[in-house]
Amino acid sequence: MPKKSSSKGTRQGTANERKSVRYDDQNVTIGTGGETHQIADGERPVLTTQQGIPVSDDQNSLKIGARGPTALEDFHLREKLFHFDHERIPERVVHARGFGAHGYFENYESLSDITKADLFQRAGEKTPLFVRFSTVAGNKGSPDLARDVRGFAVKIYTKEGNWDIVGNNIPVFFIQDAIKFPDMVHAAKQEPDRGFPQAQTAHDNFWDFISLTPESMHMVMWIMSDRTIPRSFRFMEGFGVHTFRFVNAGGKSTFVKFHWKPKLGLQSVVWNEAVKINGADPDFHRRDLWDAIKAGDYPEWELGLQLFDEDFADKFDFDVLDATKIIPEEDVPVRRVGRLVLDRCVDNFFAETEQVAFCTQNIVPGIDFTNDPLLQGRNFSYLDTQLKRLGSPNFTHIPINAPKCPFAHFQQDGHMALVNPKGRVNYEPNSWDGEGSGPRESPEKGFTSFPVEEQEAKLRVRSETFADHYSQARQFYLSQTDTEQNHIANALIFELSKVERVAIRARMVSHLLNIDSGLAKQVADGLGLKEMPKPADAARPTREDLKESPALSILLNGPKSFKGRKVGALVTDGVDIKILESLKSALKSEGALLEIVAPKVGGVKASDGSWIEAAQKIDGGPSVLYDAVALLPSEDGAKMLVKEPAARDFIADAFAHMKFVGYTEGAVSVMMHAGVPETRDKGFIAIKGQDDCSTFVAACRQLRFWDRAKV
C-alpha cells in the first residue's frame, strides 16, 4: 500500500471540538444495579465497555499504523459491532426494506491483464447474479420514496465462488471508521424513547450526530441532493464505495473502484412529488422494477471501473482509503467493461429477497481488499449480522445464498444443516485416501491475499490524510446545476426545520460556511436564524481550487431518450381515438409506456365507439406516478372534469413538478381551473392532430421543464 504518511495520525473528536459540546443537567443510570446519580453540567461518567473497561478512544478502531489494517484484537470495536449486529430481529438493522431480482453479468472483453478473477477472463461470458435494492434507514414497512441512501447489493455466482459487491447509490459514506457505524445508524434511526420518526433523518438525533462529525459533510451534500429520491431503481447509479484491488495472474495489483451505470440514464423526483408518491403508492419502486421485468423491458447497468496504481494513489490530493472521498471521473475515467441485466423476478419474496445474505468479505481470487478502515470493519460485521439474522452458520445452505459452483469443506452440523459432508473424516489435515477423505487445500488455485507489508505501531488514530472534510463537499455542491443546488438548500432547510434544538441548526450552518457561503446563507435565511454562526473549526482549510465535476450532476447526465418512462393519459368518454392511438404508437417507438387514467376504472367510450380500458381511476392514479401526462378529454368530458378535485390535482401537480404536459383543446378549461396560467410555458405541448404526438414525446426526453421553476 502506498505510504501516504507515517503512522502519525489525528485523533478524531479533539479536545477543542469536545469543549464546544455542552450537556444539560440530567439523571444518568450507572452500573447494572440501576443506581441513579445526578451529574453536574458538563460532567460525564467515563465511557466503558460492557465489561466495565474504561474506553480511551471511541472514535477510531485499532490499526497497524495510521493507514494500516484494523487489528482483530480490538475488543472495543468487536463489542460495539457485535452488540449492534444483534440488536434487532428478525429484519435487517439497516437496509430492511428491499427488493430483489435475478439476472446476469456479461463481459465486454477479457480483463486478464489486470485481474485473474475467473468471471472477467472471457469476452461475452454470462455469469448469474442476484441484486437487492433497498433503503437504509426505514423499517420493512416504510415507503419507497423516503429521502434516503439506496442500497445496491450484487451477489455474483462465479465459477470460483460468490462475489458480493455490497454498495450504495452514493459513492461515499458518512464515516471513515467502522467503529462509528453503530453511532451513525443509532442517530439516524427512530429516537429510542419515542420510536419515531422512522424512514427519515429529519430529527434532532441525526443532525446532532452529523453536526458533531465533520467527516460526514461530503455525504451530507449527497444525501440532501436528489440522489436520495430516485425516480426508479432503474434510473440510479450504484457504487462499491471503497477502494479494492484487482490482482492478475502475475501477482500485480491495481487499485479499483466499482461503478454501476444505468443504461436508461439518471433521474430523480422532486421532494413534493416524493411525499405524494408515498401516499399514492408506497411500493412505487418495487412495482416499477417488477412491472419492467415482467414486461420484458429488462433493466441494464454497465459495470464501470476506475483503475489506478500506487503512484496515482500517492499523488492524489486525497487518501484513496478514505470512504468519505471520491476520485472524480475527470481524473480517472470510468472504463465500462460489461453489463448487468435483470431479467427474472423472484419466485418467493421471503425465500430470496428477504433471506439473501450479502457479506463484503465474499470476494474471489483476483479481487482483494485494501486497508480502508470502514471496509475492514464491514468485513468483520457482515458475517456476524447474517448469522444473527438468519439464525445459523448454515445460511449458505439457503438456495439464494448457495454458490452455483462446486464446493467442498469439512464444516458440518449446526442449526438447520441441510447438507453434511459424507464419510468418516471431518478434519484436515488427514491421512485418509479415496472416497470420504475430503477436499485438500490448493496453493495454486486457492485464494491468496496480496502480500502488503505492514510494520507500524498499533494505534487508535485517524490518518492525517483523512483530515480534509470540506473540500470535496464543496466540489460536489459546485458541480450541481443551479436547479440542483437549490434542491440541496431546500432539503437542508426542510430537514433542519424539523430539528427542535436551535443550537444544532446553527452548528450545521457553521459547517456549511466551510463548504459554500451562499449555501450557508440560504439555509440560515430559510431557518430564520437570528445570527450567522462562525465557521466550524476545520482540521484542514477548504480547498477552492478543485475543478467542478460534471459527472456528479444528475441533470447533466440524464437520458437521451424517454425510454423506460411512463405517460399518464387522462381521458373521458369521447376521447379522440386517432390521437390516443398515435400517442400510444409514438411512445411504443420510443420504448415508453402509456397508462390510461379515467373517471372510472372500467374505462371510457372513445370517439369511434370503441371501449378503452383504464388502468387507474383518477383519484387512484395521480400524476405523481407518471413521468409526463397527456390531457385528452373530450369537450363534454372536460366539463365534468372541472368539477373533479382529483382531476384538478392531476393537472396542478404535473404543473408544479415541472412535467411535460400534452393537451388537446378540450383540456384547456380544466387546466385553467387547476391553476395553469393562461400563458402556458414551452413545457405544455398542444396536440391538435396525430403528428403532434411525436412532438410531445420528443419534448418528454428532457424529463422536466425546469425553466418553469424559475418563474
Element (H, E) at 463: strand 462-463
Position of cell 392531476? 650
Position of cell 477436499? 439
Q: Is position 95 annotated as part of the catalytic site?
A: yes
Nearest to 318 by CA among 466, 205, 218, 432: 466
DSSP state of 475: H
DSSP string of 517-539, one letter each residue: HHHHHHHHHHHT-SSPPPPPP-S
Catalytic residue (one of 95, 218, 487, 511): 95
How deeply is 601 buried, as exposed, middle or buried, from its count of CB atoms within 10 A (0-12, 13-18, 19+)? middle
How deeply is 674 buried, as exposed, middle or buried, from its count of CB atoms within 10 A (0-12, 13-18, 19+)? buried
Maximum pairwise Cα distance, the chain:
90
Angle of helix 517-527 relative to helix 482-497, nearest 10 degrees, comes to: 40
DSSP string of 640-671, one letter each residue: HHTT-HHHHHHHHHHHHTT--EEE-GGGHHHH
Q: What whole-number distance in Å separates Cα of residue 197 and Cα of residue 192?
A: 10
Position of cell 469476452? 123
Strands 593-598 and 616-617: parallel
How deeply is 120 buried, as exposed, middle or buried, from its count of CB atoms within 10 A (0-12, 13-18, 19+)? buried
Q: What whole-number distance in Å separates Cα of residue 357 and Cα of residue 385?
A: 9
- Coil, helix or strand for 115? coil
Nearest to 79 by CA among 293, 472, 377: 377
Q: Is position 83 annotated as part of the catalytic site?
A: no
Catalytic residue (one of 60, 168, 169, 205): 168
Angle of helix 284-294 relative to helix 271-280, nearest 10 degrees, comes to: 80
Strands 26-30 and 35-39: antiparallel
Q: What whole-number distance in Å separates Cα of residue 418 and Cα of residue 395?
A: 10
E-state strands within 82-226: 98-107, 126-135, 150-158, 161-168
- Catalytic positions, please? 95, 168
